[in-house]
Amino acid sequence: MEIGQTNFMPDTRRNFLHSLSGAALASLLHRDASAAGALSPKGGHHAAKAKAVIQIFCPGGLSHVDTWDYKPELEKRQGRPFDPEGKLTFFASKPGNCQQSWWKFRQHGDCGRWMSDLFPKLATKVDDMAFIHSMQSKTALHGPAMFMANSGFILPGFPTMGAWVTYGLGSLSEDLPAFVVLPDPRGLPPGGVLNWGAGFLPAIHQGTVIATDAEKPPIADLFPPKGYIDGSEAKSREFLQTLNRSHAAQRRENSELEARIAAYELAARLQLSAPEATNVNGETEATKKLYQLDHEDIGPFGRQCLLARRMVERGVRFVQLFCGAENTTAKKIRPNWDSHEDLVRDHGYWGAVLDHGAAALIADLKSRGLLDETLVICTSEFGRQPASQGGKGRDHNPGAFTAWMAGGGIQGGTAYGCTDELGFKAEEHPLYCYDLHATALHLLGIDHTKLTYYHNGLDRRLTDVHGEVIKEIIA
């Protein structure tokens, strides 16, 4: 059987897999014959208001008191010691003086919701948004807080929300993954790939990373190497499938084998579907301008948001995009929202990025009739302190932050919960990710107490033994 030119001799396992399938896509753990049932579309426990989710994650710790959570009392106490008695210690510092928002807050929309001037475009969308002002985390460490926000547990290795959603509802697309991840072009977020892992669920449910850099192919190693003979790839895949099936038949308990086999089957379809889904050249000039694709700083995240819209249009069930990358020392700016040294510098940069992209996404989904069936979630792993750190920054605050939702059955223009008068702690209706997850699952037609998977003697849930649906923000 031909597998390439006569002088093409694969010298490594990776090259051998290339020669057989044209894709070394171990991360594309999606669909195969025996797993087809796992990702076939399923009904939920009740009528769904949303068909798909787009989750915008802002790693690093977005400051609620400079963005969504207006605190007049903090303005009144500007410059006064936050902790006069010296009893408190923050994550990486002792509390400084009270620091009011670096941006002025104003009321917007028919609902009159407060938002800072950091987000002038999102401010025009408040009547479509519901704010949850009383979110908390159980840790002030980035990695564990990211894991908790995504999986409900501060320890790594548990299934993430996207994996649970595809496990419960399956896929709406034959040719694209059910769970797609669009990382920041600068790199992966704190905690890396575990933020979209399947944990103990079948590996078929983990997220598939699609590159968002316009200059790179959407998926690494998707196409065969140069010099590969046309027409031989299908025969190679058929032969590989025979070998894989024989191997897997003796190891039926290993879901990773089945998922890896499925990856190669999906890879063939992705050679057509992925380039089409990620090619934005056919979008109108007005759409490209809406997302500001040509802007050096705003354009990359705008492209992520546009790709998210294109994914849900094509039946992807869960899209997760990251506005920020791994936490490293600042050069010109921090690579995410972790503004210890200079909040105006870092939030000023990332605020413009999030503002343009998220506002464009809401507007675009709404104009296409997709917002009603697509749940948009924006969150961070924790907030930031209402006292200054070093005069210009803010330290981590796991005791309070804000998340917001739009579309997909959400009652726009609403808010739930609140922090204390300074924004230090969640005070009224304190919530954790369990409640956010329960609400998202409810809007997708899933009862979070019934979505379970038996593992190590327990019926595991995304919400563990917690979680209440936030009915007050549901239309």
| DSSP per-residue letters across 106-125 | EEETTTTEEEETT-TTGGGG
Instruction: Kindly tell me if the per-residue pLDDT of 16 is higher than 60.
Output: no
- Residue with more model confidence, 234 or 399: 399
Q: Residue 59 corresponds to which amino acid?
A: P
pLDDT digits (tens, 9 = 90+) for 255-309: 566 666 666 666 667 666 777 888 899 999 999 999 999 999 999 999 999 999 9
Cβ–Cβ contacts within 10 Å for residue 54, how many? 29
Q: What is the pLDDT of residue 38?
A: 78
Spatial separation of the C-alpha atoms in residues 379 and 377, rounded to whole Å:
7
Spatial separation of the C-alpha atoms in residues 263 and 23, rounded to whole Å:
9
**Mean local confidence (pLDDT), 33-51:** 81
pLDDT digits (tens, 9 = 90+) for 411-465: 999 999 999 999 999 999 999 999 999 999 999 999 999 999 999 999 999 999 9
Nearest to 197 by CA among 4, 8, 29: 29
Q: What is the pLDDT of residue 348?
A: 98
Q: What is the DSSP string of 351-395?
A: HHHHHHHHHHHHHHHHHTT-GGGEEEEEE-S-EE-SB-BTTTB--
For the entire predicted model, the pTM comes to 0.87
Instruction: Kindly tell me if the per-residue pLDDT of 45 is higher than 60.
Output: yes
**Mean local confidence (pLDDT), 56-62:** 98
Q: Which of 10-24, 133-147, 295-309, 392-406 is predicted with the least confidence, judged by mean pLDDT?
A: 10-24
pLDDT digits (tens, 9 = 90+) for 197-251: 999 999 889 999 998 887 777 776 666 666 655 555 666 667 767 777 777 677 6
CB 210 within 8 A of CB 181: yes
Q: What is the mean pLDDT of the chain?
A: 88
Q: What is the pLDDT of residue 174?
A: 85
Spatial separation of the C-alpha atoms in residues 37 and 94, rounded to whole Å:
54
Spatial separation of the C-alpha atoms in residues 252 and 1, rounded to whole Å:
29
Count the helix, strand and coil residues of the chain and give each as a percent rounded to the nearest 5.
Answer: 35, 15, 50
Spatial separation of the C-alpha atoms in residues 221 and 261, rounded to whole Å:
16
pLDDT digits (tens, 9 = 90+) for 75-105: 999 999 999 999 999 999 999 999 999 999 9
Q: What is the pLDDT of residue 205?
A: 94
Q: What is the pLDDT of residue 82?
A: 96
Nearest to 43 by CA among 450, 475, 432: 450
Spatial separation of the C-alpha atoms in residues 140 and 396, rounded to whole Å:
6
**Mean local confidence (pLDDT), 43-54:** 96
User: pLDDT-based confidence at 331, cuts 50/70/90?
Assistant: confident
Q: What is the pLDDT of residue 211?
A: 87
Q: What is the pLDDT of residue 239?
A: 73
- Residue with more model confidence, 140 or 29: 140
Cβ–Cβ contacts within 10 Å for residue 51, how many? 20
Cβ–Cβ contacts within 10 Å for residue 474, how many? 17
Q: What is the pLDDT of residue 256?
A: 63
Q: What is the pLDDT of residue 226?
A: 64
User: pLDDT-based confidence at 9, cuts 50/70/90?
Assistant: very low
Q: What is the pLDDT of residue 236?
A: 67
Tell me the helices (H) and strands (E) count for the chain, helix number first: 11, 16
The sign of the dihedral angle between the CA atoms of 80, 86, 89, 93 is positive
